[in-house]
Amino acid sequence: MDEQKVMNRWWVVVGGILIQLCLGAIYAWSAFTGRLNALDGAFRFTKIQTQFIFSLGLASFAVVMALVAGKWQAKVGPRVVAITGGLVMGLGYVIGGLSGASFWGILLGVGLLGGAGIGLAYVCPIATCVKWFPDKKGLITGLAVAGFGFGALIWVKLTSGFKFGPLDLTPGWTGLYGAGWGVSQVFILYGVLFAVLVTLGALVMLNPPEGWKPAGWTPPTGAAAATSGQSNFTVGQMVRTPQYWSLFVMFTIGATAGLMVIGVIGLFGKDALTGHGIEAAKATVIAGTAMGLFYALLNGLGRIIWGSLSDTLGRKPSIALMSLLQGVMMILFYFIGGYEWGLYLAAAVIGFNFGGNFALFPAATADFFGNKSVGTNYPWVFLSYGVGGIVGPIVGGAMGDAKAWGWAFIPAGIACLVAAGIALALKPPKAVEG
């Protein structure tokens, strides 16, 4: 089929990035936790309560994506599911804002419904882009999900102003909080924006016509077809393969490490920096910069760079290299996190590698189990993210309460090294009919 007779496929990438910019708000949770925890504020939530909202959002995200979004978008198309996701996410944040200081209202709205909306919308750009770009799966998957990482930076900085150390991109403006907005008001504003922007991005979420392929691209044959997404597995066939469980375990480890750092970098950074003689106020600013700039920015770049690199190196060596680097840095994090340069370096590298998971694993799922079925299969691989979303923040928080940070980061680093070994042992699954 002539490529000129169908929509320009790059519009799908643009729409996908816009959707993901909104969905990445779940990583901006640190913009709210300080005010929710404040003893002199209206909320006075405990640290466990704020982490529980975050963890429920991550778990709801993964479960809804696996149980609902994958099959639904395969039946009705990605546009309807993505729009529904944006509306559910937006409604959740509005409910959280209207709940005032109610923990249960925010848990239900931002945690459960917000996470569910993300779960509905998240897979749609990935599944659609893989079908439009079978020739550039790694790069395009990375671009499609890059907005998720960059979105966290945007939504955090909207509350505090776009100031990065000495660099102030919004001089004289100290964000929504500085303008007198409260947490509840920000929740409502964000909810409206999420519903509108995701809907706009979803308008171009359309699958290519049956039988369409990019001009000049010929599907691989023979041995190369085993990792080119030409053999389409059902979910039942996929979960019976060792390759599925290998991807699941590796993604669980990568998600646990990355989400652990997201959840506790502010707490650990302050503890470690003050332990090296830096005053508490300065330590808080440094830790915030480490998360808001280095982690979030490199998280987005990591998705693009690792995805693009994997198109050249191959998915297996890319996952192995990424896991190896992450393992080394997670171990070093405990020892260098008490220095300003060390906290910035660790946040950047860990964020960069964590972002790579979201480009490499959907592309690997498409390679092994089929381009056409990635929308239904990847949500089941992504359940591992839900496991990491529960284990990572909770273990990190528990070790922080016990002042035993080493028992959080070092075991996570060792696990990442194990994941690198699993990646090196990966072999393509045997092809199935269809």
Tens of pLDDT, residue by residue, the chain (434 residues): 444 457 889 999 999 999 999 999 998 887 898 889 877 778 988 877 887 898 899 889 989 999 999 899 989 999 999 999 999 999 999 999 999 999 999 999 999 999 999 999 999 999 899 889 988 888 888 888 888 878 888 998 899 888 776 778 888 898 999 999 999 999 999 999 999 999 999 999 999 988 888 887 777 665 455 555 567 899 999 999 999 999 999 999 999 999 999 878 888 998 899 999 999 888 888 887 887 778 878 988 999 999 999 999 999 999 999 999 999 999 999 999 999 999 999 999 999 999 999 999 999 999 999 988 999 999 999 999 889 988 998 888 888 888 899 999 999 999 999 999 999 999 999 877 64
Q: Tell the burial category of 322 from Cβ atoms under 10 Å away from its Cβ (0-12, 13-18, 19+).
A: buried
Question: How close are the terminal C-alpha atoms of the chain, in Å?
Answer: 21
Specify the residue for token string 């039942």. 236
Angle at 69 between CA 68 and CA 75, to 5 degrees: 95
The rounded distance, in Å, linking the Cα atoms of 158 and 40 is 23
In 133-241, where does DSSP find H-type helix? 137-160, 175-178, 183-202, 235-239
Q: Is pTM beyond 0.85 here? A: no
According to CATH, the topology of domain 233-427 is Growth Hormone; Chain: A; (1.20.1250)
CATH superfamily of 1-211: MFS general substrate transporter like domains (1.20.1250.20)
**Strands of 221-370, DSSP E:** none
**Distance (Å) of CA 92 to CA 18, 46, 379:** 19, 21, 22
Q: What is the phi-psi region of residue 277: left when phi exceeds 0, alpha when psi lies from -120 to 50, beta otherwise?
A: left
Same fold, 1-211 and 233-427: yes
Residue boundaries of the structural domains of the chain = 1-211, 233-427
Cα angle 97-102-108, degrees, rounded to a multiple of 5: 70
187: nearest Cα among 397, 35, 44: 35
Task: Report d(CA 368, CA 266) in Å as an integer.
Answer: 38
| Alpha carbons 408 and 397: distance in angstroms, whole number | 9
Radius of gyration of the chain (CA): 21
- Looking at residue 387, its amino acid is V
Query: What count of other Cβ atoms lies within 10 Å of the Cβ of residue 274?
Result: 16
Structure token pair of residue 61 = 């995200």
